[in-house]
Structure formats: C-alpha cells, structure tokens
Structure 1
Amino acid sequence: MMPTPRSLRAAASNAAQLLLYGHVADLRPMPTEMVDDGPKRSVYRYRPPEGVVPAGPPVLFVPPLAAPARCYDLRRGCSLAEHVVNAGRRSYLLDYGPIGFGDRDLGLEEWVGEILPGAIRAVSRDSGGQPVQLVGWCLGGVFALLAAAADPRLPIASVAAIASPVDVRAVRLAAPLRPVARLARGPVADLAGVLLGGVLGGVPRPVVKRAYQLVGIDKYLLRPYKVLTNLDNAEFLAQIEAVDHFTNAMLAFPGRTAGEIYRGLLCDNALAGPGVEIGGRRLDLGRVRVPVLAIAGRGDGIAPAAAVRPLTRLLGRSPQVRFEEAPGGHLGVLTGRSARSSTWAHLDRWLDEGTVRHGIRPQRREAAVTV
C-alpha cells in the first residue's frame, strides 16, 4: 500500500523522536516503596495514583527466575502493574534481585519454601492480615502453585498462573532435548548439575538472553524490516523498544535450581506426574487447595495451551480451576498490545471474584490511565 500523507508525517515524527531522544517508549517504572527485605527477597508496594484508595485482598506479582521483575511493568500504557494499581487493588511486587555466582547453591527448596512464602507473609501483614492473591508468569506461576502445595497454612487466597507450563511433553521446543534427557539420567544428569552449580554457578546471563531470543528467532530476524514498515506506528515502536529493554535486563539462572528443573521438569516431567522432589519430600499439584486461574498464549512456544491445560485435571483438590486462552506469545500473552482486552480482562474478572469471596464488593473501575 502507498503511504498516506498522515502516515508519512507520523513516520517522520517518530523518526525525529528516536533521533533526538533515542526512544519512543515511556519506560518509567510504576512508583513503589519497599515493605520487606530479606535474602533474595525484596517486596515492594505499588503506590496508587492520587484519588485512588486501594481495597480488597492484596495482589502479589511473582516473577520467574532469570527474567527481570519488570515483566509486570513493561512500559507505561502496556503495564499489567499499572493496570492493576489504577484499578484500585492493593498491589505488590516480589523482586529476587541480581543472581550471581554466590547464589549457585540456591535450589527449589529456597525459592518455594523460604523466599516466596516470606514474601507472601510480608504482604499479608502489610495489608492487615488479608490472604494474598498471587499472580505469576512462567516459572513464577509454577513457584506460586508449588508454594501453595507445600504449605496450606500460607495466607494465599488464589493463584493466577500465566504462561506456566506443567506438561513439557506438549512443548515442541523441548522435543529435541527429550532423547538427550532420557540418556542423561543418573550419573550424567548429576554431572550436569555439578557443572551448572559448582563450576559455572548456573546459566550465565548472556546465555539466558540468547536463549530467549532464539525462542522467537523468526521475529528477531524480521525486526529491522518490521520497524521500517511500522515507522508510522508509535505503539508498535514503543513495544519493540520495551521488549528489547526487558531482554537486555535478563538475569543469570542459579545452578542448583537449573539442575533441579532440568532433572525434575524436563527429564521426569514431574509436574504432570508424581510431583517434584523439594526439600526431601515430593510435592504434587494435587495438594493445592486454593482457587486457580490458568491462562495460556495461543502463540506461545514455551508454554503452549497443551502444556498449561493439564492444570484442570492435576489440581484435583482446588475448589475452582479455570483455564483461558489469549492471543500472544510467551511475553505477549502477559503484556502484549492485545493483553488488555484478553489476559487482563480474564484477570480482572478473577480478582473481582476473589474480592467477592472475601466479602468485599468490587469497586467500579476505570481503565488504566496512560501517562
């Protein structure tokens, strides 16, 4: 199609913005204040905008390992945290901080049994003793489910797991690794764990970044063309810029945890079977006794719908399990440009229902304000 005078003006304006300021995206993080701090655990409370009085059970965003906690606050106008805060909900963020060689001995026992439970208790205390509604993306959702399974006494109101795979047999990207994983059981798997944990200290940050880019290699290679053909679309350019900023902030993956996930999730597919061995005991998802919302992205290669949907049968003791699909890839389903009308809408309904379960009438909420 031939460009119109309007699109040419918009392209020229965006190009000038990039040339003069180096960016088009508003990457200012939502304002927060720390309410709790511990080893690998900083808990922040989001400050509500002027005139908004937070109410209802608190929401705690649980990030995955290796990805920055900014996944929930990608950019203004396309930030799940901004949306939830402006909707009048008490909102909190768990941040693990940087991961280094000194963290190589941290395993699932610490993340699921100490770090996340400590954050949940801190949020509950800060909100007057209310139970906490957990929202986890990717491995953050898996951690939230395992924490609920490990300790039913934790003040958890519900779990929303977004793009959290539990059946790796349905992950096509992992298919080439399965024969190697089967051969690598026993001593070879133990050797891999020693190398990751003791020698390398984990999966280094550059490797994590490149692995994430390889998952969407087609989009990555076509990016220059896409930018040129969408130079008149400020929203598209801002999203591209925000995703690049997110990818550049990827973190290392602690060695012991990497080895446990490799053996338990990839080799044994333990989440879809007998459960994961953590701290000397086996935790299966059938122990979860809180309501669970699971959302899968239709274009997600890491957590396709077939890898997420089994939660509907695995969570046999949960009083309510809801499965939804939404457009987008692994990050896009959480915070893509279409997430507001799909994933966020599902989450809004879920959190409103959780508010009603605790005897509070949901407020009439306006859409999140774009600044």
Structure 2
Amino acid sequence: MTLDVVRAAAGNVARRVLFGALADHRPVPRTLLDEGRARSVFVYHRPVGVPRHGDPVLLVPPLAVPDSCFDLRRGCSVVEHLVTSGRPTYGVEYGEIGFADRELGLEHWVEEVLPAAIRTAHEHSGGKPVHVVGWCLGGILSALTAARSNAHPIASLTVVASPFDFTAIPLLRPFRPLDALTGRIAIPALYRTFGGIPAPLVRRAFQISALDKHLSKPFAVAANLADRDYLAQIEAVERFTAAMLAYPGRAVAQIYREFFLANALASGTITLGGTPIALTAIRQPTLVIAGEDDAIAPPRSARALVDLLPDATFRTVPGGHLGTLTGRAARDTTWPLIDRFHARASG
C-alpha cells in the first residue's frame, strides 16, 4: 500500500466523520406537473444553458421503490445524464402506500397511473412521442401499459432488469416447494394481515437478493477506503434501500398468483382486473437490458419478453439488479445503450 493510498483512505474516513457523507445526494431539481391517487408526475430541470435535444423520456420506477433509483447520486444519476444531454425528462412516483391502499391492483398502474403520466409528458413536451424507460417491476408495468394502450403517444419502450420468466429466477426456486408445503397460504396470509408487504420486509428482500454482496460489503469497503467514488456509491445504495416503501395487498396477490404461480408473463398473456393483456400487442421498438449478475432478473428471465415481440432488441451489461440501471459501470454501458436506442427509435 503506497503513501498516496493511505492518505486518500484517511481523507475519505475523515470526510465521512466530519461531514457525514461522501456522496453528493442533491436531487436534480424538478417541478410537479400532475398528481392523482398513487401518482405524482414531475418534469426535471435542464441545467441553465443546456438546449433541449431529442424527444421526451419518462422514467418509471417499480412499486415499493422510491424514484431515486433514477437519481441515485450526482455522478451516478440517470436523470442527471439525461438532462445534461438536453433531453426533456419526466418521472413518476407513487408515494407512501398504506393500509387504505390495500385494494389497489396492478391494473391501477397499467390503466390509470402510467397512461396519465405518459399523457402529461406528451402534452408538456409539446406533443412529442414519449420514450418510456422502466426498471424492474416498472419495466413490467410499462410493457403492460404499452400492450394495453397499444401505441401513441409511446415512441419506444426500454425495459431494464425486469423479469418476465419467473421459472428462470434461481432465487425463487427454494420458495416453490415451501409454497406447496404451506398450502399456498403463507404469502396471502401476510398481505391480508398487513394490507400488503410492509416496507421493512421489502428492504430485507432486496438485501437477500444480493446476499453475497451484503455479507462481503464490510471487507469490500475496507479494501476500497481510498476509492471515494466506490464508497460514495455504497453510501448512496444504502440510503436508497433505507427509503423503500410498502407493496399494496391486492397487487401482491396478483404478483404472487399471475407472476409466480402461473408464470403468465412468459406465456405472453396476463389478466388484470378481469381484462386480458397480451404482451404481443406491443408494437413500439423495445430494448430489453439485463444485468449479467442480476439475481432478481437474470438474463434468461428478462429475455423472455424479447421472444414475444416483433421489434425487440436484447442486451446484457455488467452488474446486479440496481447496478444495471445506475451502477458506476452503467455510465459507460446501460446509459449509452439507451441513448443510441432512443436516437434510432426517433428516426
């Protein structure tokens, strides 16, 4: 270990002790444009002097996850990347989910929340077609919305780290025999009792999905004390995980029944609120991005959507579930992929 490395490590530790943070957590400024039940739609501000360039982008997070997944920290923010390149950038968030929201099903997002958000971005941008980018369950909801509403004003669909074949997720295999042994009552009992999946359980599930990294993190941090960017990313991910929210009960039931038990997404047709939705109805150019080390949406699970669509592209990038979207490597892998795809889709 060189003297420079020791000095850098000491400086990082001192900064954390004195100032409490290494990462720049300032969110990109934004303005609220529209709101409704479980829906707030924002437009992000481009930096002063940056001209508008390209068609609008709408960022769609999963349920139970703060929309800071797209604005993790300065230097590792999808939002910052888009606005500094001039893109009109919009986001939707769902707010706190409580017991009173237990009857909300996924169709609320597919039929109301996301169509309203897309319309808002479309109208605010001057009638431009909207490129929709969804992460994890946000990608699934975006795909179902595109299939349900068919076309305009969605210009393209980008699905990042979203599982569509649940039999291809090794993380879930141990739960199938357990589910059979409990008579398929354990998960339904949980959401009926609490009205959904409480936020602490959501946080724990996210940590378990990357258990190897969670357990080895103290050693990794110790080995990278001189790398401020590495430490800032660890800090930002911890902050993001601590802000996770609850899942509404009826949506949990649908995910459990339709995604996990029936594996309906892989078959191409899913029924929500009594309405069948065929993913094969998606006609927009679609980009599917999977992380090579993603335990929640491994490449084989994510690729299942591509096999259903006439105009879809599949790419893998380094990283785990969150890292695929906004890890340090995403700046040179995922984000340029999305930029090039949008440029092609816009003609």
The bucket for the TM-score relative to the shorter chain is over 0.9
Alpha carbons 1:196, 1:259 under 8 Å: kept: no
Alpha carbons 1:181, 1:266 under 8 Å: kept: no
CA deviation vs aligned residue, 1:328-362 (integer Å, no higher than 9, x gap): 00000101111111111111101111232xxxxxx
Instruction: Give 1:274 deviation, angstroms.
Output: 4.7
Q: Which residue of 2 aligns with 1:214?
A: 208
Mapped partners of 1:7, 1:94: distance in 2: 42
Q: Which residue of 2 aligns with 1:264?
A: 258
Q: Give the percent of matched residue pairs that are identical in Structure 1 and Structure 2.
A: 48
Alpha carbons 1:18, 1:24 under 8 Å: kept: yes
Aligned residue identity for 1:261: I
Mapped partners of 1:182, 1:131: distance in 2: 46
**Structure 1 unmatched ranges of 5 or more:** 357-371
Q: Which residue of 2 aligns with 1:36?
A: 34
CA deviation vs aligned residue, 1:42-86 (integer Å, no higher than 9, x gap): 011010001112233210000001111000000000111100111
Q: TM-score if structure 1 supplies the norm length? A: 0.90
Aligned residue identity for 2:16: L
Matches within 5 A, 1:195-234: 195-234=189-228
Instruction: Give 1:284 deviation, angstroms.
Output: 2.1
Alpha-carbon spacing, 1:166–1:208, altered in 2? closer, same or farther (3 Å): same
Alpha-carbon spacing, 1:308–1:31, altered in 2? closer, same or farther (3 Å): same
Aligned residue identity for 1:70: S
Aligned residue identity for 1:71: C
**Is 1:21 aligned with 2:15?**
no
Q: Which residue of 1 aligns with 2:137?
A: 139
Mapped partners of 2:233, 2:57: distance in 1: 25
Select 1:236's aligned residue among 215, 230, 236.
Answer: 230
Q: Which residue of 2 aligns with 1:337?
A: 328
Matches within 5 A, 1:301-340: 301-316=295-310, 320-340=311-331
Mapped partners of 1:103, 1:273: distance in 2: 29
Alpha carbons 1:312, 1:322 under 8 Å: kept: yes
Q: Which residue of 2 aligns with 1:281?
A: 275
- Say which is worse superposed, 334-343 or 346-355, in terms of deviation: 346-355
Alpha carbons 2:293, 2:319 under 8 Å: kept: yes
Alpha-carbon spacing, 1:274–1:48, altered in 2? closer, same or farther (3 Å): closer
What secondary structure, in the 3-state scheme, does the structure 2 residue paired with 1:147 have? helix
Matches within 5 A, 1:1-371: 3-181=1-179, 189=184, 192-193=187-188, 195-316=189-310, 320-356=311-347
Q: Which residue of 2 aligns with 1:366?
A: none
Aligned residue identity for 1:258: V
Alpha-carbon spacing, 1:355–1:153, altered in 2? closer, same or farther (3 Å): closer
Mapped partners of 1:12, 1:291: distance in 2: 49
CA deviation vs aligned residue, 1:163-201 (integer Å, no higher than 9, x gap): 0110011100011122345677xxx558854x3444211
Mapped partners of 1:179, 1:219: distance in 2: 26
**RMSD between aligned residues:** 1.5
Q: Which residue of 2 aligns with 1:365?
A: none
Q: TM-score if structure 2 supplies the norm length? A: 0.96
What secondary structure, in the 3-state scheme, does the structure 2 residue paired with 1:333 have? helix
